[in-house]
Amino acid sequence: MNRYTLASVLVIVVVLFSSSFTVNSYDLDESIDVYYLIAPLMKSKYGYLLANFNAFHAGLGFITKSTNEEYTVDFIAYPTITASIFPQIVNNTDSAASTSAEEPLPDLVWNTIGMVQYQEQIDGTYWTSREKMYTITGQQFKEYLCWLPIYNQSFPYYNLFDVQDTDTGDIFIPSSTCYDFVWSSFTALYALGGQLLTSTPPNRDYVTLMVTTEPNIVDHPMEPDHWKQITQFYSAIAYNPNESFQNYIGNLTILLNGTFFLHIDGKYYNLTMAPLNPWNVSYSPQPLPYGTADPSILNMPSTCFPTPPKKSSIGGGWIFIIILLCGSTTYLLIGVLVNKFLFKQHGIDLIPNRKVWLSFGSLIGDGKNFIVSKVTGNKFIPLSKHSETQPLI
Ligand SMILES: *[C@@H]1O[C@H](CO)[C@@H](O)[C@H](O)[C@H]1NC(C)=O
Ligand SMILES: *[C@@H]1O[C@H](CO)[C@@H](O)[C@H](O)[C@H]1NC(C)=O
Ligand SMILES: *[C@@H]1O[C@H](CO)[C@@H](O)[C@H](O)[C@H]1NC(C)=O
Ligand SMILES: *[C@@H]1O[C@H](CO)[C@@H](O)[C@H](O)[C@H]1NC(C)=O
Ligand SMILES: *[C@@H]1O[C@H](CO)[C@@H](O)[C@H](O)[C@H]1NC(C)=O
Ligand SMILES: *[C@@H]1O[C@H](CO)[C@@H](O)[C@H](O)[C@H]1NC(C)=O
Ligand SMILES: *[C@@H]1O[C@H](CO)[C@@H](O)[C@H](O)[C@H]1NC(C)=O
């Protein structure tokens, strides 16, 4: 082994000690930037219909400042947004139903799952714009990740529509979309102590159904009279991909002038639509949370707030001893390597600066003898000679 091999060994040792993992190795007091991510609602992903609106998908990106790790969270409709609006209409071939005089009513098959997605990366090819919103600490990020499943369980469904009173502006039924998740996340991050970095609230999509009276839940939707109304409504608004989109929207405005049966999480709401403007699609700013940051509004279990490690359990003295031990181990290791391969030493001579340490031992002996001589009154004779010291490596 020559000095180049030795240099390589040292480089490998240094790299092993300094390299970090790409995820989950951020510190609790590390700064993390929070980004508002936007992507166009892609035709391939969400179907023909919504690609024609000024429609976007939104999520949040997190970038840790020192360790440079990336995370994404977003709320998605599963399998698609269109499936959450339009049920599959399945003809009922049930024998009991087909024997009756009237034509059997079809079944409606729904796929309206909404769920929070968590990824340990930010897909730069998917998200087309990002805006820095907040700075949080690693500790606050951990608390936010603890809040995610609570949101996920509270909103297991996707609902594109807000339902709003056309006169008073009251929201009767809130939507459950990617934007609602993002704004709930802003509220959570702010309540947990996140620092807001922008003064202009960003835009979001709204799809609002305007009603004239408070919606009623349909008590027994499967009752033939009720089910007939519901299935007729969904057959009427079903989108035929061959129809032009302008035609479809034009017809929809006529069709929605009356009753809308909104399906949310297994229930049907009977909406009385406003005659003039039955719906409103807009892309406009939504205010950000402000005021006093209060984590108690989040209803999170106390287990989400781990007590920070106690300072007293490892005092300055212990830290000093640990640093000393680590330092002296590294010093010994490197010293032995240098003595063996660079200076070709053997046996006990491998110990770095052996003579200094030997004289250090005799210095301690001197100290002891000096004190003893003071107490006993005997003559003090030093043991050590300081001539043979060599520079420390
Ligand atoms: C379902 O029934 C209706 C009317 O009975 C018919 O027009 C339609 O083609 C049927 N659809 C399927 C998929 O069988
Ligand atoms: C949210 O819930 C869904 C379905 O239960 C699950 O697949 C998903 O992993 C959950 N997401 C998070 C971030 O917990
Ligand atoms: C829905 O409401 C309208 C108007 O109030 C009513 O005529 C209709 O019977 C209701 N339908 C159901 C299924 O509740
Ligand atoms: C749509 O049009 C294509 C041909 O242009 C036809 O093959 C298909 O059956 C049509 N689909 C419906 C649902 O009408
Ligand atoms: C939709 O509108 C077009 C013209 O705008 C009309 O020809 C067509 O019949 C309408 N379809 C329905 C189902 O009302
Ligand atoms: C809705 O229906 C009412 C009464 O039937 C009519 O006056 C109004 O113009 C309709 N609105 C639209 C947008 O078709
Ligand atoms: C549609 O919604 C936007 C944003 O909430 C609002 O500014 C606008 O006035 C609404 N338009 C109508 C016709 O209600």
> 257 near 275, Cβ under 8 Å?
yes
Decide if 192 is inside a domain.
yes
The boundaries of the domain holding residue 134 are 3-304
Task: Establish if 204 belongs to a structural domain.
Answer: yes
Residue 49 has pLDDT above 60, yes or no: no
Classify residue 323: in a domain, yes or no. no
Atom of ligand 5 lying closest to residue 251 CA: 1
Q: For residue 94, is it within any domain?
A: yes
Q: Which protein residue's CA is at the shortest distance from atom 7 of ligand 2?
A: 115
Taking the centre of ligand 7 as the mean of its atom positions, its distance from the CA of residue 280, in whole angstroms, is 6
Q: Which atom of ligand 3 is nearest to the CA of 218?
A: 14
Q: Is residue 364 part of a domain?
A: no
Label residue 179 by pLDDT band (50, 70, 90): very high
Residue 87 pLDDT grade (very low, low, confident, very high; cuts 50, 70, 90) = very high
CA of 254, closest atom in ligand 6: 14
Range in 177-191, 331-345, 363-377 the model is least confident about: 363-377
Residue 380: the pLDDT is 58
> Within a domain: residue 377?
no
Ligand 2 centroid to residue 381 C-alpha, Å: 78
Ligand 1 pocket, mutate which of 91, 92, 232 (most atoms under 8 A from CB): 91
Query: Is the CA virtual torsion 145, 146, 148, 152 positive or negative?
Result: positive
Of all ligands present, the nearest one to the C-alpha of 162 is 7
Q: Which ligand is nearest the CA of 145, by number?
A: 2
Which residues, 6+ apart, have CB-to-CB distance to 383 below 8 Å?
A: 362, 365, 366, 369
Asked if the structure places residue 13 within a domain, the reply is yes
| Backbone conformation region of residue 344, classed left if phi is above 0, alpha if psi is from -120 to 50, else beta | left
Q: Is 258 in the pocket of ligand 6 (CB under 6 A)?
A: no
Most confident option among 40-49, 94-103, 177-186? 177-186
Q: Is residue 314 part of a domain?
A: no
Place of tokens 């996340």: 185
Question: Total domain count for the chain?
Answer: 1
